[in-house]
Amino acid sequence: MPNPMTTKGADDLREELAHRKTALRHEITQAIAEARAHGDLKENAEYHAAREKQSFIEGRISELEDVTSRAEVVDSKKLNGEKVTFGTSVEVVDEETDEESLYHIVGPYETDVSKRMIS
């Protein structure tokens, strides 16, 4: 099933994937090697923590590879402004305070309420 996302969202996920595959993999490999050097692995908390972190990193890499491989980038410039759909921005007004807020409609992997990006 395709994952709809904006160009920026797809770029951000690809950047995160590249960072995890290069920098984070290298860092965790070094951390595991250092922890191994401390001796007995059965009671080596640093080693077990590093391996757990490695597992998390690899899991996220797998998820990002899957999501980016199925990314369907939607060019919001090609959408008309008549309906609220994926890729559009919507301004809402609080009826009590007249405060205006701008929200962006994005895919599920881009959702970040703190940045007013909702799906």
CB 90 within 8 A of CB 70: no
Mean pLDDT of 109-114: 91
pTM: 0.77
For residue 81, the model assigns a pLDDT of 66
Query: What sign does the CA torsion over 112, 81, 71, 13 have?
Result: negative
Strand, helix or coil for residue 117? strand
**Distance from C-alpha of 14 to C-alpha of 1, rounded to nearest angstrom:** 19
Nearest to 86 by CA among 69, 114, 68, 111: 111
Average pLDDT of the residues in 70-89: 79
CA distances from residue 99 to 6, 62, 69, 114 in whole angstroms, order as listed: 27, 42, 40, 17
Report which DSSP code applies to 58. Answer: H
Instruction: For residue range 43-75, list pLDDT tens digits in order.
Output: 888 999 999 999 999 999 999 999 999 999 887
80 DSSP 8-state letter: -
